[in-house]
Amino acid sequence: MANLIFGEPSLFSINISTDDRFASVSIFCASEEIGDSSEYVLLSTFISLIKNKIDNYDYSLSNELFNLEKNDVFSYVVDGFEKAESWRESQRLESILITLNLAPCFDGETFILLSTDEYDRIIWKT
């Protein structure tokens, strides 16, 4: 099994363990693990899903929300996604809701990435 760690777990990191065609993924924020590292997903599926997140990320939405309080961002994104009345609005909110529909290891986890030209901000809830 190959292990890749991007970042510093005490601050922020993405940990990926691969075994043949399968991967287990978890994210660490301030030493707190997000995700279930005992769950595996096909590596090709995970790569496709993460590529979709990167390709469809909504930087303008991120800029709008960047300076709001954590609870306000969480409420706007998660509640807004759940109550969205159009597919387009749900896709816009989903673009910054990184763990949604990403892999079984993140079922029930909420990880929002707010990225600007200068800074990145992470909001998570387990």
Domain ranges of the chain: 2-125
pTM (2 decimals)?
0.80
pLDDT per residue over 56-67, tens digit each?
999 999 999 999
Q: In angstroms, rounded to a whole number, what is the distance separating the alpha carbons of residues 13 and 119?
A: 16
Token output for 39: 């769950």
- With a CB cutoff of 8 Å and minimum separation 6, the contacts of 31 are 9, 10
Residues of the chain with pLDDT under 50: none
